[in-house]
Amino acid sequence: MAQLNVDNWKISGIASAVPSTVVENSEYKHLNSLEKKLLIKTTGIERKHIADKTTTTSDLCEVAANRLLDKLDWDKSEIDVLVFVSQSPDYYLPATAIILQNKLGLKSSCMAFDVGLGCSGYIYGLSIVASLVNSGNLRKALLLVGDVSSSTVSEKDKSTYPLFGDAGTATAIEWSEGCGGSFNLKSDGAGFETIIIRDGGIRNKVTPSSFDVKEISAGINRCDLDLELDGLEVFNFSVTKVPKLIEETLEETKSTSEDYDYFVMHQANLLMNETIRRKLKFSKEQTPYSLKDYGNTSSASIPLTICAQLNKEMEQKENKVLMCGFGVGLSWATLSIKCSPMVCLPIITV
């Protein structure tokens, strides 16, 4: 069981940045009027922010990090760790985290590396950074998390294009005696084809045929460099495995749903998330959503939701929060944490 209790760390601040371009699902030309209404009702996604062709995930994370560091008034020379979690890095190599270390003006002795995870990535990233900070020698860290998913979805694929928005986030973490959180991390690679981009890696290198657009079914046209999503399998996985993990987390932490101020889930889609919420008996007031205005922002969705919906609450008081990420991999994870008052910036538009 990958259950970790990590002491002596806290989240000091969170910032999220999104592109300025907004795409409305009500204007999506590959669905008729009835289909658009049904899509918005079931997914909860009315619009999303889309990056232009020159903007990367690291660009958005860099903006979020600089704004957050300015607000915290942190000395950049004190930052010991930078972890970048994304499925849309700048390059095949080198690691984007190392590029960001230089762009942000961090010291050369700062540890920097990438983690290639999606929907569960924020929780996994926090577990890594928290564990490093708990070692005692590393005092301050940046976790930069996000994706430009729009670069890998086909505009002619109604099963993916209306869902995904772009975002980059920054979370400041520091050593703090007596604080901490409880993680539970899981994976099941038997479901790796459930959410996949088939070409572009070492297994299936890019060839001329990688760019051939194929009609999979009515309204679903994509090439092998585009994201492929098995919606039914994702739904079944999410509404069965995720509630079990959360129940396990509640048992391990000797808590109930009523003990938490907020239950912040990965923003997959409204029908899926509401099914999970109702199963676990969390109230609507406990469960914030950012789906309506930002869509599914992959690994960025949990910190973005906190910034969009809870920034005043997180700044003004202590909150007990249960976070849960789930999806591509397949991979799923939880964090139970008592958050001290922190810097939590409103959404930054780039």
**Residue 345 DSSP code:** P
- Among the listed residues 25, 49, 110, 266, the single catalytic one is 266
Backbone φ and ψ for 216, nearest 5 degrees, come out as -80, -45
30 is catalytic: no
Residue 1: alpha-carbon gap to chain centroid: 23
Residue 322: alpha-carbon gap to chain centroid: 15
Q: Which of 325, 335, 329, 320 is nearest to 304 (CA)?
A: 325
**Do 298 and 146 meet the contact criterion of CB atoms below 8 Å apart?**
yes
Give the list of residues 6+ apart from residue 242 with CB closer than 8 angstroms, or none: 276, 324, 326, 332
What is the three-state SS of 51-72? CCCCCCHHHHHHHHHHHHHHHH
**Do 246 and 264 meet the contact criterion of CB atoms below 8 Å apart?**
no
Q: Which residue has the tokens 């290639």?
A: 116
Q: Which residue has the tokens 């479901």?
A: 191
**Do 172 and 44 meet the contact criterion of CB atoms below 8 Å apart?**
no
Q: Which of 116, 120, 113 is nearest to 97 (CA)?
A: 113
Bond into 94 cis (ω within 30): yes
**Other C-beta atoms lying within 10 Å of the C-beta of residue 94:** 11
Q: Which residue has the tokens 């459930």?
A: 194
344 is catalytic: no
**Do 299 and 117 meet the contact criterion of CB atoms below 8 Å apart?**
yes
179 is catalytic: no
The per-residue DSSP string of 5-34 comes to EEEEEEEEEEEEEE-S-EEEGGG-TTS-HH
Type of residue at 52 = D
- Among the listed residues 184, 296, 311, 319, the single catalytic one is 296
**Do 177 and 8 meet the contact criterion of CB atoms below 8 Å apart?**
yes
Which residue stretches of 104-230 are H helix?
121-133
- Among the listed residues 25, 49, 66, 119, the single catalytic one is 119
Active site residues: 119, 266, 296
